[in-house]
Amino acid sequence: MGPDTPHFNYPFKFATRGGDHHAGAVEQDTIEDVINCIIVSIIVQTGTRVEVPTFGVPDQVFELQPLNLDLIIRSIELWEDRANQIMTQNVDDKDALIAQILDAVSLRGGRA
């Protein structure tokens, strides 16, 4: 049995259930659904979606460490209002060009 209100899972892939092939899905408004939406909003650079050019997070590829987490958090909050999140980052001990970012996510408003 699948989700009552399905949303495509990320990354998109086909699944098999009872011998039938279908698109993988998660239940809408679950933590899995919210995390999928956050991941998509982080990996899309602002300006790359023609139909919604303000969607995504500004590119920080060539920025110096530490990254601007406030910019990332504000962008995510703009596109995913179902999440409370706390982001932290640590610069890698061996390579100062690498930042390890941890994003702790919970559902906002007591959603299940």
List pLDDT tens digits, range 14-73: 877 777 888 888 999 999 999 999 999 989 999 999 999 999 998 888 887 788 899 889
pLDDT tens-digit profile of 63-109?
A: 877 888 998 899 889 999 999 989 999 988 888 778 888 889 989 87
What φ, ψ does residue 90 adopt, rounded to 5°?
-130, 135
> Beta strands of the chain (E only): which ranges?
6-8, 14-17, 20-23, 25-27, 83-91, 99-107
What was the pLDDT predicted at 1?
A: 62
Measured CA to CA, the distance from residue 107 to residue 2 in angstroms comes to 22
Q: pLDDT-derived band of residue 3, with 50, 70 and 90 as boundaries?
A: confident
Q: What is the CATH number of domain 6-110?
A: 3.10.450
